[in-house]
Chain A
């Protein structure tokens, strides 16, 4: 009984942790959308900024990956 409760908690926790990925999705979409808006206003400056775009996406995504990692840890390692 106690073990089942812990199992339930684990799965619920993993599901909750997965919500964090939504935040990462919002962040990445925000960056890409703003980049596109800026690039359409000034297309000549866009190619020089793609590196910054990817770095920004990477930073935003890393935080989502952290929460995904928590979910995985709860599912498989705890």
Chain B
């Protein structure tokens, strides 16, 4: 019956998969192949690749550990740097404060001295100014008396020195 289905084609052989005469051949070569592949894989390829992968993993782990260590070191160095910086800052602040206090002391002393000198000078000046003022006032009274006497004379009166002087003095006071 099968020959009718594809007898005309001649070459067709149905399903080669179901041609049981070739099964022993295929099974034999398959087993050979599988054994060869298994040996190649289990003896050479897989241990090698596994070793490479393990190597890489340990290398990466080591590198990561080293990087972590370096990072730790960097953090420590930064901390030390910051500490040094802070120390320097406090030291500097201390020095500045001391210098400031000293300068302040000098300054205060100088200021006090200067103040005293200035006070002395002021007192002296005031004294001389008062003397000058007194002198000036006396001179003004003299001039005024003379001028008033002259004026009285010029206006045709008889200048009584005593009354003129009294009037001028009264005026000056007023």
Contact = CB atoms under 8 A, between A and B. Distances in A.
Asked whether the complex places CB atoms of A and B closer than 8 A, the reply is yes
Interface of A: 3, 6-7, 10, 72-73, 75-78
B1 interface: yes
A70 B14 CA distance: 13
23 contacts: A3-B1, A3-B4, A6-B1, A7-B1, A7-B4, A7-B5, A10-B5, A72-B15, A73-B15, A73-B18, A75-B5, A76-B2, A76-B5, A76-B6, A76-B12, A76-B14, A76-B15, A77-B2, A77-B14, A77-B15, A77-B18, A78-B1, A78-B2
Interface string B1-33: 110111000001011001000000000000000
A6 B5 CA distance: 10
Nearest to B15: A76
A46 B6 CA distance: 50
Main DSSP-derived SS at the A contact region:
helix
Main secondary structure of the interface of B (DSSP, over half): helix
Nearest to B16: A76
Contacts, number: 23
Contacts of A72: 15
A10 B14 CA distance: 13
Contacts of B4: 3, 7
A52 to B, nearest CB: 27
Interface residues of B, number: 9
B20 to A, nearest CB: 11
Contacts of B5: 7, 10, 75-76
A6 B12 CA distance: 19
The 4 A-B pairs with the shortest beta carbon distances in the complex, nearest first, are: A76-B14, A76-B15, A77-B15, A77-B14
B42 to A, nearest CB: 24
Contacts of B2: 76-78
Given A3-B4, A76-B6, 8 more contacts: A7-B1, A7-B4, A10-B5, A73-B15, A73-B18, A75-B5, A76-B2, A76-B15
Contacts of A77: 2, 14-15, 18
B64 to A, nearest CB: 25
A78 B6 CA distance: 12
Nearest to B6: A76
B17 to A, nearest CB: 8
